[in-house]
Amino acid sequence: MDENDQEPPTNDMSDLLVSVGLNRDVEAFEVLFRHYAPRVKAYMARLCRDGTAAEELMQETMMVVWNKAAQFEPSRGTVSTWIYTIARNVRIDVYRRTKRPEFDLNDPAFVQDDAPPADMAFEAFQEAERLHRAMATLPAEQLDLLKRSFYEDDSHSAIAEALSIPLGTVKSRIRLAFAKLRAALEER
């Protein structure tokens, strides 16, 4: 064996993983990788039945082992249990990412229609027709006040001034017009 092929001083996998976590020991990780990578790949191949996917999942698992080695606690379990738990979680995460359907927000099924539904539009049309028929039954002076107040958006004071009638009269005629409209709309 030449100097580059030498293994770290210990073969205990827990010590190797702790060394990776504490010292970022590349040699210790190489030993762990050589030992666990083929096993993790075989585990993944059994689960996903795809050699390429198994290779990718194994690589991702071993990267997580490298990045989270400092979180390993020998008192809580063995190295193999820890690594296989990571492998299982990596597989679940990848499965969740790839199995989520992606929606095209421009798909006509997802684009909100600006027009109201036909039944609502028809009901609104019917209500408007009823309102116009009811307004046609009002005396001319009440109809004129409603049009000025609601269609022309004039204030009651401005209407009273324009027609040279008291403000109270404008308000009472509008109130009477509303009462007649309400009664006409309720009976139909």
| Cβ count near 138 (within 10 Å) | 18
> Using CA atoms, how far apart are residues 31 and 33, in angstroms rounded to an integer?
5
CA dihedral 88, 89, 91, 93 (to 10 degrees): 170
DSSP 112-126: PPSSPPHHHHHHHHH
User: Which of these, 121, 148, 145, 143, lies nearest to 132 by C-alpha position?
Assistant: 143
* pLDDT at residue 74, rounded to an integer: 81
pLDDT tens for each residue of 82-140: 999 999 999 988 888 777 666 666 766 667 777 778 888 888 888 888 888 888 888 98
What is the DSSP code (8-state) at residue 46? Answer: H
The mean pLDDT value of the chain amounts to: 83
pLDDT tens for each residue of 154-183: 899 999 999 999 999 999 999 999 898 888
Residue 124, classified by CB atoms within 10 Å of its CB into exposed (0-12), middle (13-18) or buried (19+), is exposed
Tokens matching residue 155 = 């204030």
pLDDT tens for each residue of 126-162: 888 888 888 888 898 988 888 899 888 889 999 999 9
What ranges do the domains of the chain cover?
3-99, 135-187
Reply yes or no on domain 3-99 having CATH 2.60.40.10.
no
> Using CA atoms, how far apart are residues 45 and 111, in angstroms rounded to an integer?
41
Global pTM reads 0.47
* pLDDT at residue 164, rounded to an integer: 93
Domains 3-99 and 135-187 share a fold: no
* pLDDT at residue 6, rounded to an integer: 46
* pLDDT at residue 102, rounded to an integer: 66
> Using CA atoms, how far apart are residues 179 and 161, in angstroms rounded to an integer?
24
pLDDT tens for each residue of 61-77: 999 988 888 888 888 88
Please tell me the number of Cα atoms within 13 Å of 107 on its side-chain side: 6
pLDDT tens for each residue of 17-74: 887 778 888 888 898 899 999 999 998 888 888 788 889 999 999 999 888 888 888 8
CATH-assigned architecture of domain 135-187: Orthogonal Bundle (1.10)
> Using CA atoms, how far apart are residues 32 and 158, in angstroms rounded to an integer?
89
59 in Cβ contact with 68 (< 8 Å): no
* pLDDT at residue 188, rounded to an integer: 60
